[in-house]
Structure 1
């Protein structure tokens, strides 16, 4: 009986070894599939990032060329994040007012149709998620408390962006893109939450009181959609 028992034990160990080897192969296959999927996902996300970085860079360069001579006159700058910042309050509004000055109306009359003409090109239009008009203020508001000053400045910044939005939306030159603009154009008052600092890291109150036009692409949405399809 001993030889038979020994043979049975050998057969059991052999079967167990075969089972463990099979399981190991299954786990290795699962790991390999997972690694391949991760690499595919990484490659596809990289492609999306490269595409949108190219769109951003191309759009930035075109806007910079278009408005190179005008920006200094308007007291404005363009940044690589696709924001055009008008920083000379005296050209835009009376202090504490949300009514557009005649000078700023003329600037917008010149600026916005040309701006829209670039954004609506086939290279950019499909990738634009939002065109934001942002209003920013300084922190001060007389002798009010800091909280009350922030709230009053929030109301002022929102009113200023609404005034700018209403003006550009009513321009005859934008009629052909009115439906697209209504879908994409927003007004955002940010009070004094994002001040501009000078080289000494002090708040530059003059430049902080500004209006900015910003383009936001749908890169984040495209990446989220890609991740959903890969789940």
Structure 2
């Protein structure tokens, strides 16, 4: 019996695969820790990139607001216009100046304002500081919810949609006519859009529609930082999903 035991022990010592369960578990744990550490480091790096994108986006918008405000702050009161810091929207708020009620032709006074405003506006946006970051320059036309009072709500919405779309196209036409530089005009054409929004974004006061304030034209800037952040988040989500499989 002793000889058989000795033979078995000698056989185990010579077998390279004879590892204890504890040693195997320790090895697996070490591999898991290394994988986890690598994943956490990569996610930390990606999170820092996300934070950097967001900070760059915030700084860009703030600087653009400051430059637009510096350029137009003396003109905004006489234009009946406001510059929104959060949305980078320059809003013309006096409907009697913009269009005749129910009409889409740009009125003379508003045409004069556009001639003063728009060349200066696109000069800032197309400057080396911002040019590569501008994704879209939106002209938005907004109406109140009413029409003549005889149509139902849905019909009024569609009639106002047609009206707001025609108005923004005419504002776009008037705006482009103020640009003499062919290269600048080409750049503006590549970025600018006309968006008639009917009564979809009403201005409310104490929960009640402010019909006069709802009738407005806005020039709004959209930067490509939004797309960069969205693309980064998409890659990050895909990476997390792959790690969880």
TM-score, length-scaled by structure 2: 0.86
Is 1:22 paired with 2:49? no
Q: How far apart in 1 are the matches of 2:199 and 2:170?
A: 18
Match of 2:51 in 1: 46
Which residues of structure 1 form unaligned runs of 5+? none
Contact 1:136/1:189, CA 8 A, preserved across alignment = yes
Are positions 1:158 and 2:165 aligned together?
yes
Matched, 1:62 2:63: no
Distance 2:5 2:200 in 1: 86
Deviation at 1:19, TM superposition (A): 1.8
| Residue 170 of structure 1: how far off its partner (Å) | 2.1
**In 2, Cα distance between the equivalents of 1:115 and 1:174?**
14
For residues 45-194 of structure 1, the aligned pairs below 5 Å read 45-80=50-85, 81-142=87-148, 143-194=150-201
Query: In the alignment, which residue of structure 1 is the partner of 2:228?
Result: 222
Choose 1 or 2 for highest CA Rg.
Answer: 2
Number of corresponding residues: 230
Give me the whole-angstrom Cα distance separating, in 2, the residues matched to 1:101 and 1:86.
Answer: 13
Post-superposition Cα deviations, 1:21-78, rounded to whole Å, max 9, x if no partner, equal: 1111111111111111111011011111111111100010111111111111111100
Cα pair 1:113 1:173 within 8 Å, conserved: no
Q: Once the 2 structures are TM-superposed, how far is the Cα of residue 3 of structure 1 from its aligned partner?
A: 4.8
Asked if structure 1 preserves the Cα contact closer than 8 Å seen for 2:119 and 2:179, the reply is no
Partners of 1:134 and 1:187 within 8 A in 2: yes
SS in 2 for 1:54: helix
Consecutive unaligned residues in structure 2, runs of 5 or more: 240-245
Change in 2 beyond 3 A, CA 1:14/1:117: same
Scaled by the length of structure 1, the TM-score of the pair is 0.91
